[in-house]
Amino acid sequence: MSVQEKIEKMENCRGRNHDLLIFRGWLNEYIPSHKQLTKIQVTGTNGKGSTCQWFAGLLKNAGYKVGVFTSPHLISHFERIVINDKMISENEWEQIYDEFEPLFIEKKMTMFEMDLWMALVYFLRQEVDIAIIEVGMGGRLDATTALDYCATVITNVSFDHQAYLGNSLEQIAYEKSGIFKPGVLALTTEKKENCQKVMENVASVMHPMLGFVDFPYEIKDNQIEIEWNHHTYYMNLPVYQVDNFGLALETLYALGMELEPSCIQKTIDEFQWLGRFTKLKRSHQVILDGAHNVDGIQSLVNSISTWKGDIYFSVLSDKDAQEMIDILNQLHCPITLVQIDSYRCYPLESLNLPLISKEELIQRINNPQKDMLICGSLYFIGEILEKVNG
């Protein structure tokens, strides 16, 4: 069986994860050293992946060896397991998979549980100093919550995955607050009072060290200026990255990791996260951003309020496509819908906007006549990035 066949076999193992105590028991039995691995857990509706990248960049530039576990991937399944910006190799992935495949089958683990398991094994064997672990969905029942952490963070709370997490912001905040652990640092940049109240209520039972991070900034001469800890930092990124950056920085500071200002600015200057405001090198601006829900699209629009190009959009069927389009219309630019390969694609023909194929979009990207903003589902962005050159 080839590596790709093994990945496809794994990806077919979807469904509900096991009870956390059961999964924890398996970890304790087969890889007990997972308890010695220093880890930070990251959840939230939007910005989880970016926050993981901020943690990784700050720590790497400070001299740490950093493992990062994220999902979903954009192009390669190996993107989910990374150390210091380098994906796990095909050989290393296959060795770990082959070693534990009998156990995966015996326990009927889901793909996500297998991915997490393999990441932990890899990080332990590579002796990383710290691992950043991104929640798959929610938090309270997520497989990642079976682990121990030195800190847990929540980026924000908004509507997404309502079928699993609840139909109110309070319910979703409760699910995400399920990552809190007694005596463990818990920080969030969530600002809505109703969601903060839920977090406080959960904290009154779970007793984490809960803190709310409000990271101030100013925009001067089209540049973000941040005053923090007696130093000034400059950022040329979408505004929505300020909170993600601030959450990572404040968490590391609270953990006693005092980073040099030069290390912090270097991390800002180098920051990139594939599929999140990714710019392609073309004769016109071509930007790809995986804003995949209402709040994500609103944050994107707020960051490019003077946009004058074309907009290309696609989304999965469990999202509020019309509301997302209404927000994109605030830019007063032409919107074209793009059909993608996934069976989960929204029925785009019902939205009464021009509709093109993915192949047609790729042709336009390769020979742009105007600036292009391509946004929507991360799966959509991944399909496009797989076919175009940066």
Give residue 390's pLDDT.
62
Same domain, 156 and 259: yes
Q: Which amino acid is it at 293?
A: N
Q: What is residue 325's predicted lDDT score, i.e. its pLDDT?
A: 95
CATH classification at residue 284: 3.90.190.20
Secondary structure percentages of the chain, helix, strand, coil, to 5:
45, 20, 35
Q: How many structural domains are present in the chain?
A: 2
Nearest alpha-carbon partner for 290 in 152, 383, 202: 383
**CATH number of the domain that residue 182 is part of:** 3.40.1190.10
Q: What's the Cα-to-Cα distance from 304 to each of 20, 228, 277, 387, rounded to whole Å?
A: 41, 25, 10, 25
| Dist. CA 147–CA 229, nearest whole Å | 32
Low-confidence residues of the chain: pLDDT under 70: 161-164, 390
Name the nearest CA neighbour of 151 among 171, 165, 137, 131: 131
Residues 114 and 213 in one domain: yes
Name the residue range of residue 126's domain: 3-270
Q: What angle do CA 294, 300, 305 make, to 5 degrees?
A: 120
How many Cβ atoms sit within 10 Å of the Cβ of residue 29? 9
Residue (of 302, 296, 305) closest to 313 by Cα position: 296
Instruction: Tell me how crowded residue 28 is: count the other CB atoms within 10 A of its CB.
Output: 12
Asked if residue 300 and residue 265 are part of one domain, the reply reads: no
Domain identity same for 150 and 291: no
Q: What is the pLDDT of residues 10-30, one digit of tens each?
A: 999 988 899 999 999 999 999
Coil, strand or helix: which one is 174?
helix
Nearest to 274 by CA among 362, 390, 387: 390
- Identify whether residues 68 and 166 lie together within a single domain: yes
Omega before 368 within 30 of 0, i.e. cis = no
**Considering the entire predicted model, what is its pTM?**
0.92
Q: Are 230 and 249 found together in one domain?
A: yes
* Separation of alpha carbons 269 and 12, rounded Å: 39
CA atoms within 13 A on the CB side of 290: 24
Residue 163 confidence (pLDDT): 63
Task: Please name every residue paired with 219 in a beta bridge, in sequence order, or none if there are none.
Answer: 224
Of 245, 270, 295, the position where a domain reaches its end is: 270
Strands 151-154 and 39-43, how do they pair? parallel
- Looking at 270, 287, 322, which one is the last position of a domain? 270
CB neighbours of 264 closer than 8 A, spacing ≥ 6?
A: 58, 231, 233, 249
Residue 124: C-alpha distances to residues 18, 80, 127 (Å): 23, 16, 5
Chain position carrying tokens 């990945």: 7
Neighbours of 360 (CB within 10 A): 14
**Residues in Cβ contact with 213 at an 8 Å cutoff, skipping those fewer than 6 apart:** 187, 188, 189, 243, 246, 247, 250
| Whether residue 289 sits in one domain with residue 258 | no
d(CA 364, CA 327): 24
Q: Please check whether residue 50 is in contact with residue 247, taking contact to mean a CB–CB distance below 8 angstroms.
A: no
Return the pLDDT at 36: 95
Verify that 232 and 330 share a domain, yes or no: no
For residues 179 and 145, the answer to whether their CB atoms sit within 8 Å is yes
For residues 249 and 337, membership in a common domain is answered with no
Which pair of structure tokens corresponds to residue 261? 């200002």
- The stretches of 126-240 forming alpha helices (DSSP H) are 162-165, 169-177, 193-206
Do 157 and 213 fall into the same domain?
Answer: yes
Question: Within this chain, do residues 239 and 288 fall inside the same structural domain, yes or no?
Answer: no
Residues 208 and 307 in one domain: no
DSSP per-residue codes, 216-278: --EEETTEEEEEETTEEEEE-S-TTHHHHHHHHHHHHHHTT----HHHHHHHHHH---TTSSE
